[in-house]
Structure 1
Amino acid sequence: MILDSVKQWLDEIVIGQNFCPFARFVRDNKQIRFVEHQQQTIESAMLVLQEEIQRLEADNETATTLIVFSKGFVDFNDYLDLLDIANEMLEQWGYWGKYQLASFHPDYLFEGEAVGSASHYTNRAPFPILHLLRERDIETVLTNYPHPEKIYENNKIRSLELGVNYFKQKLAQYRHK
Structure 2
Amino acid sequence: MMGTVFSGAGLTRYTRVAIALHWTIAVLLVTNLGIGLLMDDLPDGIVPIHKSIGMLVLLLSLVRLGWRIGHRPPPLPASVKPWEKGLAHAVHWIFYAFMIFIPLSGWIFTSASPKRHALTFFGLFGLPYFPVPQEKAISHVWHGRHETVAYLMLALLVLHVAAALKHRFLDRDRTLDRMLPGAGPR
Q: Same fold (TM over 0.5)?
A: no
Larger relative helix fraction: 2
Tell which structure's C-alpha radius of gyration is larger: 2
Per residue, is there more strand in 1 or in 2?
1
Give the TM-score normalised by structure 1. 0.28
TM-score, normalised with respect to structure 2: 0.27
